[in-house]
Amino acid sequence: MRILLEEYRSTELASMAESSTLIIPVGSTEQHGPHLPVATDAVMAQYVARAAAAKVTTGDTPVLVAPTLNFGASDHHLPRAGTISVTGGVYLAFLNEMLASAAKGGFRRMVILNGHGGNEDVARQASRDTAVEHPVMVAAAAYWTMAWPRLVEICTTHGLGGLPGHAGAFETSLMQHLVPELVDLTALRGSDAADSTPSDHPLAVPSIETHGWIAEIDGYSNGARAASAAAGAEALSTIVAATAAFLENFSKRELPPLVVRSGRNIRTNQ
């Protein structure tokens, strides 16, 4: 069964939408240090979305993958070339419009699968906004969220340092496995950026933001030289399996009634 939304005709989608789970991969176009391409986040989000959907989708459990959104909220990366960004407020509005249009087209189960840390809070807010205004279920998560405990173990075993980090050994390992021709570790200059050890999930601890931190480093947040394609293969396999398991469970969750009970457009007398 085909999994790419773009390959279907509108007449086909009209009869499939309500029974399908729609995945919207979101990434960014932003600098990833001197050794990784600016498409890194989009490449990873798209790969995980498509690989997980292919594992799960059946005639009874259709999973469709929308075209990848290759831009994100990346203003903090603007000090370095190659970053094309929108502000968080604009990005939230854009995601809300995308989800609302999908809902109006009949989709009632939607998943934002994110590949960029700067999109994380915005994607989760968009899922809340959409579920308030429309009788749908919307999930939002970064691809590293799905298998966090196991990924911590993999990063520790392979000495990859911080998870997920930015253009560090974790992301670099994934890209070395998936598109090694786009990775150039010889471009790393001087000593590695300060390394760190995986610990709690980033959403389990307070968020601390410091002005200009990207400008103060060489474009990556933790050491990248420990990266390896083998570590990337193990991590990607784990991520895809965990994401597929989530999608299978999500597709079985009971949908809300087809009536708006909250938000600014309530259409019920209850």
* pLDDT (0 to 100) of residue 189: 81
* pLDDT (0 to 100) of residue 150: 94
Does any domain span residue 261?
A: no
Does any domain span residue 270?
A: no
* pLDDT (0 to 100) of residue 199: 62
Q: What CA–CA distances, in Å, run from 111 to 26, 46, 170, 251?
A: 10, 13, 24, 10
* pLDDT (0 to 100) of residue 194: 54
Does any domain span residue 267?
A: no
Q: Is 36 helix (H, G, I), strand (E, B) or coil?
A: strand
Least Cα distance to 49 among 252, 232, 243 occurs for 243
**Taking the chain (270 residues) in consecutive chunks of 10 residues, what is each chunk's mean pLDDT?**
95 95 97 95 98 91 96 91 95 97 97 96 97 96 94 93 90 97 90 63 73 78 89 97 96 87 68
* pLDDT (0 to 100) of residue 23: 98
Does any domain span residue 92?
A: yes
Helices (H), 27-112: 40-56, 88-104
* pLDDT (0 to 100) of residue 61: 82
Cis omega before residue 135 (within 30°)? no
* pLDDT (0 to 100) of residue 195: 63
Q: What angle do CA 109, 90, 264 make, to 5 degrees?
A: 55
* pLDDT (0 to 100) of residue 211: 84
Give the integer Cα–Cα distance in Å for 149 and 56.
22
Does any domain span residue 47?
A: yes
Domain that holds residue 162: 5-252
* pLDDT (0 to 100) of residue 229: 97
Tell me if 219 sits within 8 A of 36, measured CB to CB.
no
Give the integer Cα–Cα distance in Å for 211 and 170.
24
pTM of the model: 0.92
Give the DSSP H or E segment for 190.
none
* pLDDT (0 to 100) of residue 85: 96
Does any domain span residue 269?
A: no
Task: Count the domains in the chain.
Answer: 1
CATH of the domain at 36: 3.40.50.10310
